[in-house]
């Protein structure tokens, strides 16, 4: 592994400042070069955490060997944007709540770094979605690791989403919205809307309506090479589109195209974990209740 580690993190680390100081000291002593996103670097410096020679980088350096995301799942999604198209592996370190995308806790990170250096980890390729729309603001990062959600405005009645797949008409979804999810995102917003849980390395895309006003549509799973075209009609002038929680207002009648991105997010996972254990540990899958 290239010895440059780039660190992205949440600025909600008050309970972990001592551990973070120890991490930077460890990395310096072990001979790693370290780059830190400026928001995290500023936050830590304001709280007296010594960065031990790490330098600040608003863009992830091109020669990064490993990216480290410190926070929760939302932090990991933002870290994936920082990493961008480079396909540098990301190690998720959980200091948030669920931490579904994380591989370890902060107290375990030094052991995990050792495992990464030995090649004793699994690096999973996770699908990204690409979105095209003429009305997205200039400079929008048009990719999503979890989902693309087309939603009504908060005060609006339901919207109609005419959906074509690979050039063929599929359905008119009359609902509060439609979630187009990757397998990675199947346990996020998609799960809350009653969509299917998918093994995260599967090659597929799920479509889950949000509060549909009909009994004749249900969540649907299609192939990973599928290309979707959505046209949204609304009684109001606008509707919303959300890419991993980044929300934009688009005009009614707008067409949106969604398909697999030309790159993936690479997620570092411990060898002693698997999808079944993650479901049980994170979602309490098959948890038994005691009467």
Residues forming the active site: 73
Asked if 116 contacts 30 with a C-beta cutoff of 8 angstroms, the reply is no
Name the one residue in this structure whose structure tokens are 């889950």: 208
> Judging by beta carbons within 10 Å of its beta carbon (0-12, 13-18, 19+), is residue 118 exposed, middle or buried?
exposed
Cβ atoms within 10 Å of 168's Cβ, excluding its own: 7
Asked if 242 contacts 109 with a C-beta cutoff of 8 angstroms, the reply is no
Cβ atoms within 10 Å of 101's Cβ, excluding its own: 30
What residues contact residue 84 under an 8 Å CB cut-off, 6+ apart?
Answer: 60
């Amino acid at each position: 592994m290239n010895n440059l580690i780039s660190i992205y993190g949440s600025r909600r680390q008050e309970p972990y400042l001592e551990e973070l100081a120890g991490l930077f000291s460890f990395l310096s002593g072990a001979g790693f070069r370290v780059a830190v996103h400026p928001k995290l670097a500023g936050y830590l410096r304001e709280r007296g955490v010594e960065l031990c020679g790490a330098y600040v980088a608003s863009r992830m350096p091109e020669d990064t060997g490993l990216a480290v995301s410190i926070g929760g799942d939302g932090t990991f999604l933002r870290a994936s944007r920082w990493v961008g198209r480079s396909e540098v592996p990301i190690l998720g370190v959980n200091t948030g709540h669920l931490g579904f995308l994380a591989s370890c806790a902060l107290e375990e990170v030094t052991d995990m770094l050792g495992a990464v250096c030995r090649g004793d980890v699994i690096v999973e390729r996770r699908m990204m979605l690409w979105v095209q729309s003429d009305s997205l603001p200039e400079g929008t990062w048009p990719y999503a690791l979890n989902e693309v959600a087309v939603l009504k405005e908060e005060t609006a009645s339901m919207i109609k989403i005419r959906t074509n797949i690979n050039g063929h008409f599929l359905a008119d979804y009359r609902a509060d919205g439609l979630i187009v999810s990757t397998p990675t995102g199947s346990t996020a917003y998609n799960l809350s809307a009653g969509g299917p849980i998918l093994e995260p390395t599967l090659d597929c895309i799920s479509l889950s309506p949000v509060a549909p006003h009909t009994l004749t549509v249900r969540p649907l799973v299609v192939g990973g090479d599928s290309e979707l075209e959505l046209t949204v009609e609304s009684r109001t002038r606008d509707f919303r589109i959300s890419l991993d929680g980044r929300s934009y207002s688009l005009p009614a009648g707008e067409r949106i195209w969604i398909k697999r991105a030309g790159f993936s997010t690479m997620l570092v996972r411990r060898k002693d974990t698997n999808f079944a254990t993650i479901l049980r540990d994170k979602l309490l899958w098959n948890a038994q209740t005691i009467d």
